[in-house]
Amino acid sequence: MEAIEAEAEPGELGFDAARLDRIGRHLNRYVDNGRLPGVSVLVTRGGQIAYTHRYGHRDCERELPVTADTIYRIYSMTKPIVSVAAMQLYEQGCFQLKDPISRWIPSFAGARVFAGGNVMAYQTREPASEVTVHSLLTHMSGLTYDFHFANEVDALYRANGFNWGPPGNLEETCDALAGLPLLFDPGTEWNYSYSTDVVGRLVEIVSGQSLDDYLAEHVTGPLGMVDTGFAVPPADVERFAANYTTAALAARNFAGNTGRSAPSYLPDDPDLSRTLLDDPRTSAYLAPPKILSGGGGLVSTMGDYHRFTQMLRNGGELCGARIIGRRTLEFMASNHLPGGCDLTACGRALFSEAAFDGVGFGLGFSVLLDPAKAQVLSSTGEFAWGGAASTAFWVDPAEDITVVFLTQLLPSSTHPLRPELTALTYQALV
Protein backbone atom coordinates (compact mmCIF):
# COMPACT_ATOMS: atom_id res chain seq x y z
CA MET A 1 0.00 0.00 0.00
CA GLU A 2 1.27 3.46 -0.93
CA ALA A 3 1.88 5.71 2.08
CA ILE A 4 -0.62 8.56 2.33
CA GLU A 5 1.09 10.96 4.69
CA ALA A 6 2.38 14.53 4.59
CA GLU A 7 5.42 14.91 2.35
CA ALA A 8 6.41 18.41 3.44
CA GLU A 9 5.77 20.83 6.29
CA PRO A 10 2.68 22.96 5.60
CA GLY A 11 4.75 26.12 5.91
CA GLU A 12 7.03 24.98 3.08
CA LEU A 13 3.96 24.75 0.82
CA GLY A 14 2.41 28.06 1.76
CA PHE A 15 0.02 26.93 4.49
CA ASP A 16 -0.24 27.97 8.11
CA ALA A 17 -0.03 24.63 9.93
CA ALA A 18 -2.17 25.68 12.89
CA ARG A 19 -4.91 27.01 10.62
CA LEU A 20 -4.76 23.89 8.43
CA ASP A 21 -5.41 21.79 11.52
CA ARG A 22 -8.82 23.42 11.73
CA ILE A 23 -9.91 20.97 9.02
CA GLY A 24 -9.52 17.98 11.27
CA ARG A 25 -11.03 19.62 14.31
CA HIS A 26 -14.09 20.65 12.33
CA LEU A 27 -14.62 17.26 10.68
CA ASN A 28 -14.11 15.44 13.97
CA ARG A 29 -17.19 17.17 15.37
CA TYR A 30 -19.30 15.57 12.65
CA VAL A 31 -18.04 12.17 13.78
CA ASP A 32 -18.25 12.81 17.53
CA ASN A 33 -21.88 13.90 17.39
CA GLY A 34 -22.93 10.90 15.30
CA ARG A 35 -23.58 12.63 11.97
CA LEU A 36 -20.69 10.97 10.09
CA PRO A 37 -19.11 7.54 10.65
CA GLY A 38 -15.54 8.58 9.86
CA VAL A 39 -13.59 10.96 7.64
CA SER A 40 -10.45 10.98 5.53
CA VAL A 41 -9.07 14.11 3.87
CA LEU A 42 -5.93 14.87 1.87
CA VAL A 43 -4.64 18.29 0.79
CA THR A 44 -1.75 18.85 -1.61
CA ARG A 45 0.02 21.89 -2.98
CA GLY A 46 2.60 21.87 -5.72
CA GLY A 47 2.13 18.11 -6.05
CA GLN A 48 3.21 17.43 -2.46
CA ILE A 49 0.94 16.25 0.35
CA ALA A 50 0.62 19.09 2.85
CA TYR A 51 -2.03 17.60 5.13
CA THR A 52 -3.83 14.35 5.82
CA HIS A 53 -6.39 13.55 8.47
CA ARG A 54 -8.27 10.36 9.33
CA TYR A 55 -10.74 10.02 12.16
CA GLY A 56 -13.61 7.79 13.21
CA HIS A 57 -14.71 4.43 11.85
CA ARG A 58 -15.03 2.80 8.47
CA ASP A 59 -17.44 0.37 10.16
CA CYS A 60 -19.08 1.70 13.31
CA GLU A 61 -20.92 -1.51 14.14
CA ARG A 62 -17.65 -3.49 14.26
CA GLU A 63 -15.61 -0.55 15.64
CA LEU A 64 -13.14 -0.72 12.75
CA PRO A 65 -11.21 2.54 12.29
CA VAL A 66 -10.71 4.56 9.13
CA THR A 67 -7.38 3.58 7.60
CA ALA A 68 -5.29 4.86 4.71
CA ASP A 69 -6.41 1.89 2.59
CA THR A 70 -10.15 1.94 3.42
CA ILE A 71 -12.28 1.22 0.34
CA TYR A 72 -15.15 3.62 -0.33
CA ARG A 73 -18.12 3.80 -2.69
CA ILE A 74 -17.29 6.88 -4.75
CA TYR A 75 -20.57 6.97 -6.72
CA SER A 76 -20.48 9.99 -9.07
CA MET A 77 -16.75 10.51 -8.64
CA THR A 78 -16.79 7.68 -11.20
CA LYS A 79 -17.96 10.22 -13.80
CA PRO A 80 -14.66 12.11 -14.23
CA ILE A 81 -12.77 8.82 -14.62
CA VAL A 82 -15.12 7.57 -17.34
CA SER A 83 -15.14 10.98 -19.03
CA VAL A 84 -11.34 10.84 -19.24
CA ALA A 85 -11.63 7.34 -20.73
CA ALA A 86 -14.02 8.60 -23.41
CA MET A 87 -11.77 11.53 -24.26
CA GLN A 88 -8.84 9.17 -24.71
CA LEU A 89 -10.81 7.62 -27.55
CA TYR A 90 -11.68 11.07 -28.89
CA GLU A 91 -7.95 11.80 -29.02
CA GLN A 92 -7.52 8.71 -31.21
CA GLY A 93 -10.06 9.95 -33.75
CA CYS A 94 -12.68 7.37 -32.80
CA PHE A 95 -15.49 9.93 -32.75
CA GLN A 96 -16.21 13.65 -32.84
CA LEU A 97 -17.99 15.43 -30.03
CA LYS A 98 -20.66 16.63 -32.48
CA ASP A 99 -21.46 13.07 -33.53
CA PRO A 100 -24.95 11.79 -32.66
CA ILE A 101 -24.84 8.95 -30.15
CA SER A 102 -27.27 7.06 -32.41
CA ARG A 103 -24.28 6.26 -34.64
CA TRP A 104 -23.23 3.72 -31.96
CA ILE A 105 -26.49 3.19 -30.07
CA PRO A 106 -29.16 3.08 -32.80
CA SER A 107 -32.08 3.19 -30.37
CA PHE A 108 -31.32 6.88 -29.73
CA ALA A 109 -32.25 7.68 -33.34
CA GLY A 110 -35.87 7.56 -32.25
CA ALA A 111 -35.49 9.77 -29.18
CA ARG A 112 -38.31 12.29 -28.68
CA VAL A 113 -38.91 15.19 -26.29
CA PHE A 114 -41.63 15.23 -23.62
CA ALA A 115 -44.37 17.64 -24.73
CA GLY A 116 -46.99 17.38 -22.00
CA GLY A 117 -49.23 15.00 -20.10
CA ASN A 118 -48.43 12.69 -17.25
CA VAL A 119 -46.99 9.26 -16.58
CA MET A 120 -50.24 7.58 -17.65
CA ALA A 121 -50.73 9.53 -20.88
CA TYR A 122 -48.23 11.89 -22.39
CA GLN A 123 -47.27 13.52 -25.68
CA THR A 124 -43.87 13.83 -27.34
CA ARG A 125 -42.38 15.79 -30.23
CA GLU A 126 -39.37 15.61 -32.48
CA PRO A 127 -36.20 17.02 -30.86
CA ALA A 128 -34.64 20.13 -32.41
CA SER A 129 -31.31 18.29 -32.39
CA GLU A 130 -30.00 14.80 -31.68
CA VAL A 131 -28.32 13.58 -28.52
CA THR A 132 -24.59 13.96 -29.21
CA VAL A 133 -21.45 12.79 -27.47
CA HIS A 134 -20.87 16.37 -26.35
CA SER A 135 -24.35 16.73 -24.87
CA LEU A 136 -23.81 13.51 -22.92
CA LEU A 137 -20.41 14.54 -21.54
CA THR A 138 -21.85 17.91 -20.49
CA HIS A 139 -25.17 16.62 -19.09
CA MET A 140 -27.07 18.61 -21.71
CA SER A 141 -28.50 15.49 -23.36
CA GLY A 142 -32.08 15.81 -22.11
CA LEU A 143 -31.75 12.67 -19.99
CA THR A 144 -32.52 12.82 -16.28
CA TYR A 145 -32.39 10.77 -13.06
CA ASP A 146 -35.34 8.92 -11.58
CA PHE A 147 -34.50 10.17 -8.08
CA HIS A 148 -35.02 13.86 -8.86
CA PHE A 149 -38.79 13.56 -8.17
CA ALA A 150 -39.24 16.86 -10.05
CA ASN A 151 -41.21 16.22 -13.23
CA GLU A 152 -43.20 13.72 -15.26
CA VAL A 153 -40.11 12.51 -17.14
CA ASP A 154 -38.31 11.25 -14.06
CA ALA A 155 -41.63 9.74 -12.98
CA LEU A 156 -41.64 7.88 -16.31
CA TYR A 157 -38.16 6.62 -15.50
CA ARG A 158 -39.42 5.18 -12.21
CA ALA A 159 -42.44 3.65 -13.95
CA ASN A 160 -40.10 1.91 -16.40
CA GLY A 161 -37.78 0.16 -13.99
CA PHE A 162 -35.40 2.93 -12.91
CA ASN A 163 -35.49 2.77 -9.12
CA TRP A 164 -32.48 4.42 -7.48
CA GLY A 165 -30.55 2.87 -10.35
CA PRO A 166 -30.75 1.38 -13.86
CA PRO A 167 -33.07 -1.52 -14.77
CA GLY A 168 -30.56 -3.78 -16.53
CA ASN A 169 -27.04 -4.14 -17.84
CA LEU A 170 -25.35 -1.25 -19.61
CA GLU A 171 -26.64 -2.11 -23.08
CA GLU A 172 -30.19 -2.68 -21.84
CA THR A 173 -30.13 0.49 -19.76
CA CYS A 174 -29.06 2.64 -22.72
CA ASP A 175 -31.84 1.21 -24.86
CA ALA A 176 -34.32 1.84 -22.04
CA LEU A 177 -33.13 5.46 -21.74
CA ALA A 178 -33.45 5.96 -25.49
CA GLY A 179 -37.05 4.73 -25.36
CA LEU A 180 -38.11 7.30 -22.76
CA PRO A 181 -38.84 10.95 -23.60
CA LEU A 182 -36.12 13.54 -23.26
CA LEU A 183 -36.69 16.34 -20.77
CA PHE A 184 -35.67 19.04 -23.30
CA ASP A 185 -33.97 19.54 -26.65
CA PRO A 186 -30.37 18.31 -26.40
CA GLY A 187 -27.79 21.04 -26.00
CA THR A 188 -30.19 23.67 -24.67
CA GLU A 189 -30.21 23.01 -20.90
CA TRP A 190 -28.14 21.30 -18.21
CA ASN A 191 -29.64 18.52 -16.12
CA TYR A 192 -27.82 15.99 -13.94
CA SER A 193 -28.58 12.58 -15.39
CA TYR A 194 -27.64 9.09 -16.55
CA SER A 195 -25.64 10.70 -19.37
CA THR A 196 -22.28 9.35 -18.20
CA ASP A 197 -23.67 5.82 -18.12
CA VAL A 198 -24.34 6.23 -21.84
CA VAL A 199 -20.79 7.57 -22.23
CA GLY A 200 -19.56 4.37 -20.57
CA ARG A 201 -21.45 2.33 -23.16
CA LEU A 202 -19.87 4.42 -25.92
CA VAL A 203 -16.44 3.54 -24.50
CA GLU A 204 -17.36 -0.14 -24.68
CA ILE A 205 -18.63 -0.02 -28.26
CA VAL A 206 -15.79 2.08 -29.66
CA SER A 207 -13.01 0.23 -27.83
CA GLY A 208 -14.42 -3.28 -28.18
CA GLN A 209 -13.79 -3.87 -24.47
CA SER A 210 -16.06 -3.98 -21.44
CA LEU A 211 -15.93 -0.76 -19.44
CA ASP A 212 -14.13 -2.38 -16.52
CA ASP A 213 -11.48 -3.90 -18.77
CA TYR A 214 -10.98 -0.64 -20.66
CA LEU A 215 -10.52 1.38 -17.47
CA ALA A 216 -8.09 -1.18 -16.05
CA GLU A 217 -5.97 -1.15 -19.19
CA HIS A 218 -6.03 2.54 -20.04
CA VAL A 219 -6.81 4.61 -16.93
CA THR A 220 -6.74 3.01 -13.50
CA GLY A 221 -4.10 0.44 -14.39
CA PRO A 222 -1.50 2.87 -15.78
CA LEU A 223 -2.14 5.18 -12.82
CA GLY A 224 -1.56 2.38 -10.30
CA MET A 225 -5.10 2.65 -8.94
CA VAL A 226 -5.04 -0.94 -7.74
CA ASP A 227 -8.11 -0.73 -5.49
CA THR A 228 -10.45 0.99 -7.93
CA GLY A 229 -13.10 -1.16 -9.62
CA PHE A 230 -16.76 -2.05 -9.88
CA ALA A 231 -16.69 -4.62 -7.07
CA VAL A 232 -14.76 -5.38 -3.89
CA PRO A 233 -12.67 -8.59 -4.14
CA PRO A 234 -13.20 -11.15 -1.35
CA ALA A 235 -9.67 -10.60 -0.05
CA ASP A 236 -10.41 -6.89 0.50
CA VAL A 237 -13.74 -7.08 2.31
CA GLU A 238 -12.08 -6.26 5.62
CA ARG A 239 -11.05 -2.86 4.23
CA PHE A 240 -14.48 -2.02 2.78
CA ALA A 241 -16.36 0.76 4.59
CA ALA A 242 -19.94 0.55 5.74
CA ASN A 243 -22.34 2.98 4.11
CA TYR A 244 -24.75 5.10 6.14
CA THR A 245 -27.76 7.31 5.63
CA THR A 246 -29.70 9.62 7.89
CA ALA A 247 -32.21 8.27 10.36
CA ALA A 248 -34.87 10.38 8.62
CA LEU A 249 -34.35 8.70 5.27
CA ALA A 250 -34.12 5.25 6.81
CA ALA A 251 -37.39 5.80 8.66
CA ARG A 252 -39.18 6.82 5.47
CA ASN A 253 -37.54 4.05 3.46
CA PHE A 254 -36.26 6.56 0.88
CA ALA A 255 -32.78 5.11 0.90
CA GLY A 256 -33.68 1.78 -0.60
CA ASN A 257 -32.07 -1.44 0.58
CA THR A 258 -28.43 -2.51 0.75
CA GLY A 259 -27.70 -2.34 -2.96
CA ARG A 260 -26.04 0.40 -4.99
CA SER A 261 -28.75 3.01 -4.51
CA ALA A 262 -27.93 6.70 -4.14
CA PRO A 263 -30.82 8.88 -2.91
CA SER A 264 -30.24 12.58 -3.37
CA TYR A 265 -32.56 14.56 -1.16
CA LEU A 266 -33.89 14.85 2.39
CA PRO A 267 -37.43 15.21 3.75
CA ASP A 268 -38.37 18.33 5.69
CA ASP A 269 -37.13 18.59 9.29
CA PRO A 270 -34.89 15.53 9.03
CA ASP A 271 -33.20 13.55 11.79
CA LEU A 272 -29.57 13.86 10.66
CA SER A 273 -28.11 11.18 12.92
CA ARG A 274 -26.50 8.44 10.85
CA THR A 275 -27.86 4.90 10.54
CA LEU A 276 -26.52 1.87 8.68
CA LEU A 277 -27.57 1.53 5.05
CA ASP A 278 -25.17 -1.00 3.55
CA ASP A 279 -23.23 -3.52 5.65
CA PRO A 280 -19.85 -4.14 3.98
CA ARG A 281 -20.04 -7.86 4.79
CA THR A 282 -23.31 -8.34 2.90
CA SER A 283 -23.09 -5.52 0.37
CA ALA A 284 -24.04 -5.89 -3.29
CA TYR A 285 -20.54 -4.56 -4.06
CA LEU A 286 -19.08 -7.94 -3.07
CA ALA A 287 -20.31 -9.43 -6.35
CA PRO A 288 -19.97 -8.25 -9.96
CA PRO A 289 -22.68 -5.66 -10.66
CA LYS A 290 -25.49 -6.13 -13.13
CA ILE A 291 -24.41 -2.85 -14.74
CA LEU A 292 -20.95 -1.33 -15.15
CA SER A 293 -22.19 2.13 -14.29
CA GLY A 294 -20.02 4.86 -15.75
CA GLY A 295 -22.11 7.32 -13.79
CA GLY A 296 -21.56 5.93 -10.32
CA GLY A 297 -20.38 2.35 -10.05
CA LEU A 298 -16.78 2.48 -8.83
CA VAL A 299 -15.21 1.94 -5.44
CA SER A 300 -11.82 3.41 -4.62
CA THR A 301 -9.40 4.44 -1.87
CA MET A 302 -7.76 7.66 -0.80
CA GLY A 303 -4.47 6.55 -2.31
CA ASP A 304 -6.04 5.67 -5.64
CA TYR A 305 -8.11 8.82 -6.03
CA HIS A 306 -5.15 10.90 -4.96
CA ARG A 307 -3.26 9.44 -7.91
CA PHE A 308 -6.12 10.37 -10.22
CA THR A 309 -6.22 13.96 -8.96
CA GLN A 310 -2.43 14.25 -9.26
CA MET A 311 -2.69 13.16 -12.90
CA LEU A 312 -5.26 15.92 -13.41
CA ARG A 313 -3.12 18.45 -11.58
CA ASN A 314 -0.10 17.42 -13.65
CA GLY A 315 -1.77 18.02 -17.01
CA GLY A 316 -2.76 14.42 -17.75
CA GLU A 317 0.43 12.57 -16.80
CA LEU A 318 1.68 10.82 -13.67
CA CYS A 319 4.99 9.05 -13.09
CA GLY A 320 5.67 8.69 -16.78
CA ALA A 321 2.17 7.46 -17.65
CA ARG A 322 0.44 9.85 -20.07
CA ILE A 323 -3.29 9.28 -19.56
CA ILE A 324 -4.70 12.23 -21.49
CA GLY A 325 -3.20 15.09 -23.46
CA ARG A 326 -2.57 18.40 -21.71
CA ARG A 327 -4.68 20.38 -24.17
CA THR A 328 -7.44 17.77 -24.03
CA LEU A 329 -7.59 18.04 -20.24
CA GLU A 330 -7.64 21.84 -20.38
CA PHE A 331 -10.53 21.57 -22.84
CA MET A 332 -12.38 19.19 -20.52
CA ALA A 333 -11.88 21.51 -17.53
CA SER A 334 -13.26 24.58 -19.34
CA ASN A 335 -16.89 25.70 -19.28
CA HIS A 336 -18.94 24.20 -22.14
CA LEU A 337 -22.35 25.61 -21.19
CA PRO A 338 -24.07 27.71 -23.89
CA GLY A 339 -22.74 31.25 -24.09
CA GLY A 340 -20.37 30.66 -21.18
CA CYS A 341 -23.26 30.80 -18.71
CA ASP A 342 -23.36 29.17 -15.29
CA LEU A 343 -25.61 26.35 -14.10
CA THR A 344 -28.11 28.81 -12.64
CA ALA A 345 -28.70 30.30 -16.08
CA CYS A 346 -29.13 27.06 -18.01
CA GLY A 347 -29.57 24.31 -15.44
CA ARG A 348 -32.74 23.03 -13.82
CA ALA A 349 -32.93 23.64 -10.08
CA LEU A 350 -32.51 19.97 -9.21
CA PHE A 351 -29.99 18.01 -7.23
CA SER A 352 -26.44 17.77 -8.54
CA GLU A 353 -23.00 17.29 -7.05
CA ALA A 354 -22.17 21.00 -7.54
CA ALA A 355 -23.53 24.38 -6.60
CA PHE A 356 -25.19 26.33 -9.42
CA ASP A 357 -24.41 30.03 -8.93
CA GLY A 358 -21.11 30.98 -10.53
CA VAL A 359 -20.37 27.37 -11.54
CA GLY A 360 -20.12 26.07 -15.11
CA PHE A 361 -19.63 22.58 -16.46
CA GLY A 362 -17.07 21.02 -18.76
CA LEU A 363 -16.62 17.46 -19.99
CA GLY A 364 -17.02 15.51 -16.77
CA PHE A 365 -16.19 18.25 -14.23
CA SER A 366 -17.83 21.27 -12.69
CA VAL A 367 -15.84 24.46 -13.36
CA LEU A 368 -15.79 27.44 -11.01
CA LEU A 369 -16.42 30.60 -13.03
CA ASP A 370 -16.96 33.27 -10.39
CA PRO A 371 -16.09 32.65 -6.71
CA ALA A 372 -17.93 35.80 -5.64
CA LYS A 373 -21.15 34.74 -7.35
CA ALA A 374 -20.72 31.21 -6.00
CA GLN A 375 -20.04 32.73 -2.56
CA VAL A 376 -17.22 30.27 -1.97
CA LEU A 377 -13.62 30.93 -1.01
CA SER A 378 -11.81 29.36 -3.94
CA SER A 379 -10.26 30.16 -7.33
CA THR A 380 -11.63 30.76 -10.80
CA GLY A 381 -10.85 27.69 -12.88
CA GLU A 382 -11.13 25.15 -10.07
CA PHE A 383 -12.60 21.91 -11.47
CA ALA A 384 -14.26 19.34 -9.29
CA TRP A 385 -16.95 16.78 -8.64
CA GLY A 386 -18.39 14.70 -5.82
CA GLY A 387 -20.23 11.52 -5.00
CA ALA A 388 -23.59 10.72 -3.43
CA ALA A 389 -22.02 9.32 -0.23
CA SER A 390 -20.66 12.83 0.56
CA THR A 391 -17.27 12.29 -1.08
CA ALA A 392 -15.61 15.12 -3.03
CA PHE A 393 -12.49 16.29 -4.82
CA TRP A 394 -11.24 19.42 -6.51
CA VAL A 395 -8.22 20.60 -8.45
CA ASP A 396 -7.26 24.30 -8.31
CA PRO A 397 -4.71 25.18 -11.02
CA ALA A 398 -4.39 28.80 -9.81
CA GLU A 399 -3.19 27.87 -6.32
CA ASP A 400 -1.86 24.46 -7.41
CA ILE A 401 -4.01 22.72 -4.78
CA THR A 402 -5.82 19.39 -4.86
CA VAL A 403 -8.17 18.05 -2.19
CA VAL A 404 -9.81 14.65 -1.78
CA PHE A 405 -12.42 14.02 0.91
CA LEU A 406 -13.89 10.60 1.64
CA THR A 407 -16.63 9.44 3.98
CA GLN A 408 -19.79 7.30 3.56
CA LEU A 409 -23.08 9.09 4.17
CA LEU A 410 -26.01 9.26 1.76
CA PRO A 411 -27.11 11.70 0.49
CA SER A 412 -24.35 14.22 -0.16
CA SER A 413 -26.81 17.07 0.42
CA THR A 414 -27.14 16.15 4.12
CA HIS A 415 -24.39 18.46 5.40
CA PRO A 416 -22.54 21.44 3.83
CA LEU A 417 -19.27 19.53 3.91
CA ARG A 418 -17.87 20.69 0.58
CA PRO A 419 -18.17 24.47 1.07
CA GLU A 420 -16.99 24.08 4.64
CA LEU A 421 -13.95 22.09 3.55
CA THR A 422 -13.21 24.63 0.83
CA ALA A 423 -13.22 27.51 3.29
CA LEU A 424 -11.14 25.58 5.81
CA THR A 425 -8.52 24.83 3.15
CA TYR A 426 -8.15 28.31 1.67
CA GLN A 427 -8.21 30.19 4.97
CA ALA A 428 -4.97 28.36 5.83
CA LEU A 429 -3.02 29.83 2.90
CA VAL A 430 -0.43 32.45 3.83
- The pLDDT tens digits of the residues spanning 257-284 come to 444 555 555 555 567 788 999 999 999 9
Q: What is the pLDDT of residue 265?
A: 52
CB 262 within 8 A of CB 389: yes
The C-alpha atoms of residue 383 and residue 391 are separated, in whole angstroms, by 15
pLDDT of residue 247: 81
- What pLDDT is stored for residue 257 in this prediction? 42
Quickly count: other Cβ atoms within 10 Å of residue 171's Cβ.
14
Helices 302-313, 78-91: axis angle to 10 degrees equals 40
Find the helix packing angle between 78-91 and 195-207, rounded to 10°.
40
Percent of the chain residues past pLDDT 90, beyond the cut:
88
What per-residue confidence (pLDDT) applies to 73?
A: 98
Rounded distance between C-alpha atoms, residue 196 and residue 152, angstroms: 22
What residues does 56 pair with on adjacent strands? 38
Cβ neighbours around 322 below 10 Å, total: 12
For the stretch 2-28, what's the b/e string if a residue is b when 16 or more beta carbons lie within 10 angstroms of its beta carbon? eebebeeebeebebeeeebbebbeebb
Residue type for 343, please? L
pLDDT (tens digit per residue) in 158-177: 999 998 778 999 999 999 99
- Ranges of the chain with pLDDT below 50: 255-259
Identity of residue 253? N
Q: How far is CA 219 from CA 8, 60, 108, in A?
A: 28, 33, 28
Omega within 30 of 0 (cis) for the link into 411: yes
The reported pLDDT for the residue numbered 355 is: 81
383/230 Cα distance (integer angstroms):
24
At 365 the pLDDT is 97
Whole-number pLDDT of residue 270: 62
Buried b (16+ CB within 10 A) or exposed e, 325-346: beebbebbbbbbbeeeebbeeb
